[in-house]
Amino acid sequence: MDLNKIEQLSKMFTRFTGEQIETTEMLPPSGSYREYVRFTGGGKSALGVFNSDKKENAAFIGFSEHFKSKSLKVGKVFDQDMEQDIYLVEDLGNTTLFDFLQANRVEGEFSESLMDIYKKTIEELVLFQLKGSEDLDFDLCYPRKAFDRQSMQWDLHYFKYYFLKLAQVPFDEQALEEDFKSLMDFLLEAEHHYFLYRDFQSRNVMVKNGEPWFIDYQGGRKGALQYDLASLLYDGKADIPVEVREQLYSHYIDTLKKHKEVDESSFQNHFTGYVYIRIMQAMGAYGFRGFYEKKEHFLKSIPYALKNISYLLKSHPLPIQIPELSRVLEALTTNEKLLRINALTVTINSFSFKRGIPFDMSGNGGGFVFDCRAIHNPGRYEEYKQITGKDEAVIKFFEKEPEMKEFLDDVFSVVSKSVEKYISRNFKHLMVNFGCTGGQHRSVYSAEQLTKYIQQKYPVSVKLRHVEQEIKKA
C-alpha cells in the first residue's frame, strides 16, 4: 500500500474515532490482492483497506450494510472513499477460525471448545444463507449474480487449465467437458436462490470473545445451500476428521430444519456434488497461486485436497455417470509429483560452527543439530581443500570411510522417526542441521545424503541449504 493511501486512511481513522494514531501496522498479504493496515489510538482500533477493484468494493460495502441490518455477525464499515478505493472497517482481531483450530486441536482431535465454535459457526451460516438472502440486492454481486452454469464452468475450467495442465495430468478434453456438463446439470437440480458466501472457509471466519464473525464475503452471489457447507467441512488445511465432519453435517441439517423443510436424501446427494466442485475450484486456486505464481504455501494445501478426493471416491461416489472426471480424480490421488507436495517441509542445512547454528525461520524451534567434526576430514588434505562435499572426489572419499556410513545410518534412523510422526500429526516444519569446522566437506556431504534419503522415502517437501557455501558465493 502506498504512503498516500495510508495517509488518507489514517485521516479517516482520526476523523471517525476522534483519536490520534499511536501505531500503524501493515498486515501480511492473504490470498486476495486487497491490502490491510491496522490503526490504533486512544484504546481504539480499526482496519484500513485498499482494493483497486471497484466492483468488489461496492459488493463488500453493500453486503456489509445489508447483513448488519439483519443483525448478522459482520464487522461495521466505519467510513469509505470509493473514488480512492479505500474504506475503514471494524477490527475483529487476529484470531481466525483456522488459528483457533490449530490452538485447540489436541493430538489431531477436536476439543470440546473447538466443536462448540464450529457448531456456532454453522448456526450463523444458516442465518447468513437464509436471513442474508431476504431483500438482498443481488445486483451487487460480482462478477455474477448467481452461482449458475457459467460460474460453474469457470470453476471447472480453472481446475482444468490451472491445475491439471500445470500439474501435467493427462486427460481426454472432450470426454472431460461432457462430464463437466453432466455434473453441472446435476448440481443445478438443487434449490439455488439463497445467499452463497462462495469462500466460506476457516480463514474467513474470525473468533472474537468466543463467537464467530464473518469476513471476505464480497464474492457472494445467489446459489445453493450445499456449497458453503461443503466449503467449511472440506476446508483443505483444516483437515476435519471424518467422524467430526459427519457430526457437523448433522448439526447443520438439524439447524436448517428449524427454519425450513429439508429433503435429507436429496440434500445429501447434491451436497456431495457441491463438495466435488468446491474441491476442484480450490485446486484451481492452488495451481494458479502455487504452480503459476510460485507461492509455496498454496501448494501445501494440495495433499489435503487429494486426501479428501480419495475419501470421496471411495465413500461418496456421485449418483451420475462421469467416467473421465472420475478417472482423472483417481489419477490425482496416485500422482507421484503431487504426493511429494506435503504439508511437512524438512529443511536441511549444512553450516560452519564458526558462524553458529542456522536460525529456524519457521518459528517452531527444535529439530536436530548433528556435529560432523568427529568424522575424518578431507579438508586436511591439499587435493580436497578447494572442493566441497558435493564434488565427486569428496564423495568417493567418504564412501571409503566406514565412520561416515555409521554416522549417517544413525542419523537416518532418528530423523525418520520424527518425519513419520510429524506426517501423522500434520506438523508443518522439521529442521535438520549438519555442522562441521568449515561447513564445506563433512556437513555438506551429510546434508546431501539425508536429502536424497528423505526424498526417496517420504512424500515431503525438502529444502536444502549449504549456508557456508552461499556466504562464500555472495
Q: Span 426-455, mean pLDDT?
A: 93
Residues 101, 225: one domain?
yes
pTM confidence score: 0.75
- Give the model confidence (pLDDT) of 399-435 as tens digits: 999 999 999 999 999 999 999 888 878 788 899 999 9
Q: Span 446-472, mean pLDDT?
A: 88
Interatomic CA distance for residues 465 and 326, integer angstroms: 40
Residues 352, 452: one domain?
yes
pLDDT value for 277: 98
Number of domain units in the chain = 3
The residue out of 281, 307, 339 marking a domain boundary is: 339
pLDDT value for 31: 63
Full domain range(s) for residue 67: 3-90
Residues 158, 274: one domain?
yes
Residues 207, 317: one domain?
yes
Residues 70, 159: one domain?
no
C-alpha cell at 469: 557455501
The residue out of 59, 90, 121 marking a domain boundary is: 90
- Give the model confidence (pLDDT) of 178-229 as tens digits: 999 999 999 999 999 999 999 999 999 999 999 999 999 999 999 999 999 9
Residues 292, 196: one domain?
yes
Residues 332, 349: one domain?
no
CATH number of the domain within which 274 lies: 3.90.1200.10
Residues 448, 420: one domain?
yes
Residues 22, 117: one domain?
no
Residues 165, 292: one domain?
yes
Residues 300, 247: one domain?
yes
pLDDT value for 93: 95
